[in-house]
Chain A
């Protein structure tokens, strides 16, 4: 039944001139699942998420949200449907405070003297602090600049912001790519919390070790084509690695190195 899926790409292709970025990709995201999109560099991950986010329009194929065909003209329209994308640059301004970043573009306001619309900084500070605390990040003072936060905290801030503003689908572009082990774990915990709240997540990565523990299903991309979608129960981590081509290549490298060493 189509209704089981909150997002569906059906046989979607995307061409840039002569370049085939995506070829007949089908991806189905169930409600409340964490869906991992795996692929090496150049596999088409970026094009795929930009298509989902409304930056690109598919050259052919169907894009459905809640079973309805959609054609987003801008990221704003996707956002209005509850599809929020957290890109690698996170859209955070380091020199601005946590609260001001949290509410940038959607500032809470209150009326003063009946005419003046002013920022409700008290609400902004408290809400930002509470929402981050819910996500396991504790800022003493939401008026401190984002520049003072670690990379993992910034990632979590960007995700918490998307959740607070009503994201039903979170698309996370390599959220753990630049992070250390501990911070990656924090981000994975956050993804788990999002799932607990019934939010569906598309988690893009090329790190199987990050993807496997948290994901419910996987889609593998290779050179613009989908190599299929697998439920976690149907596939082991080693199989995923192998399918990403990285596995065999790394194995052959290992063989080669060992052979040389021997």
Chain B
């Protein structure tokens, strides 16, 4: 007994000398970590490596097919942009430890909510677009509220909404348009410069014409550039990604997202409003889904009840390939964006090669599996004492 007592007293007496020793930069308890390991700790590493791999693959198999010419790039970038918008929302939500399976259905739902009122109820387009965002965000709130209130897994609650919204979309479009497609909305966009300015077509047209007239980019024989500008969807994607990435990495709310996803109970104990954080991310995810739907209606000039089918899974795949843990607490927006780029490049690129495009899903499934295994390895390493 007295031995322990003395040893503690002895240690206490020694503390000052210890502190002085420790003030020196060298400490035998501090381990050097190789730069490679530091790199491995970044969530987006896997997806950046994957993107490089995919680019190398297509550069070899389809390098001279026009896939990497400007119009080819715009082609796959648009696919990446659409998915990227979804992935940004899904990424934040997944880092916070939840996911939303209803976003795919919400894309279709947002589409009919945008298209039906101007076509059949005489609403101005801008009003129906605002209504779509409000309704979708309210549904996102409801998803989040039910998940938090019932403490049920978000899987089951949002699975229910996946079916409810898909069904509602079908009901709405057959009731009003007597068809699964609500067409003719394109003219409404043409009549509304504000809405089409936000969501339709391309921008920087002047710059592209200028570049074409100087022969820097390809042009048609009449002098018009082959690519008339940057699609709006890409601008939305980049804008959203920058804002979400900033919020996640640099703000208090971002720290809350990580804390809530890492350990909800710990988050509560340190005073983080867990419920508010999660519900607001459900709302943000719904916003992203709605944005996807509106952009698609603007591009196609129609809404259809099968739009966004399986997009919830594609978004989750992009996010997971991007290094975010399914269980939450770890991940990055940049990673999710690279995940979306991989998607776009593979989906479009495969048609530029001689490979049968039926292999597309096989390839994605394989990527997902590799990414999950890789993430699992990273996580078990980070969470364990070394």
- Asked if A76 is at the interface (CB within 8 A of a chain B CB), the reply is yes
Q: How far is the CA of A238 from the CA of B382 in the complex (A)?
A: 43
Q: Mark B1-32, 1 if CB is under 8 A from A, else 0.
A: 10011011101100100110011000101110
Q: How far is the CA of A117 from the CA of B253 in the complex (A)?
A: 10
Q: How far is the CA of A238 from the CA of B2 in the complex (A)?
A: 12
- Asked if A228 is at the interface (CB within 8 A of a chain B CB), the reply is no
Contacts A107-B255, A138-B29, A189-B11 known; A145 to B382 CB distance under 8 Å? yes
- Asked if A2 is at the interface (CB within 8 A of a chain B CB), the reply is no
Contact A188 B382 (CB under 8 A): no
CB-defined contacts of B384 to chain A, threshold 8 Å: 147
Q: How far is the CA of A212 from the CA of B4 in the complex (A)?
A: 9
Interface residues on A, range: 35 or more
Of the candidate stretches A40-48, A62-70, A88-96, the one touching chain B is A88-96
With beta carbons under 8 angstroms apart, the residue of B8, B11, B255, B272 that contacts A119 is B255
Contacts A104-B267, A117-B251, A136-B15 known; A213 to B329 CB distance under 8 Å? no
- Asked if B250 is at the interface (CB within 8 A of a chain A CB), the reply is yes
Contact B251 A150 (CB under 8 A): no
Contact B18 A94 (CB under 8 A): no
Contact B250 A119 (CB under 8 A): yes
With beta carbons under 8 angstroms apart, the residue of B262, B265, B269, B382 that contacts A148 is B382
With beta carbons under 8 angstroms apart, the residue of B1, B18, B329 that contacts A136 is B18
Q: How far is the CA of A105 from the CA of B256 in the complex (A)?
A: 7
Majority-rule SS of B interface residues? helix
Contact B382 A93 (CB under 8 A): no
Contact A213 B266 (CB under 8 A): no
CB-defined contacts of A31 to chain B, threshold 8 Å: none
Contacts A138-B30, A213-B8 known; A89 to B266 CB distance under 8 Å? yes
Contact B15 A212 (CB under 8 A): no
- Asked if A75 is at the interface (CB within 8 A of a chain B CB), the reply is yes
CB-defined contacts of A5 to chain B, threshold 8 Å: none
With beta carbons under 8 angstroms apart, the residue of B252, B266, B325 that contacts A107 is B252
CB-defined contacts of A100 to chain B, threshold 8 Å: 255, 258-259
CB-defined contacts of A105 to chain B, threshold 8 Å: 256, 259, 267, 270-272
- Asked if B254 is at the interface (CB within 8 A of a chain A CB), the reply is yes
CB of A49 to closest CB in B, whole Å:
13
25 contacts between A and B (CB under 8 A): A93-B329, A94-B262, A94-B263, A94-B382, A96-B258, A96-B259, A100-B259, A105-B259, A106-B270, A106-B271, A107-B252, A109-B251, A117-B252, A133-B22, A136-B15, A136-B22, A138-B22, A138-B30, A147-B385, A148-B382, A150-B385, A185-B8, A192-B12, A209-B1, A212-B1
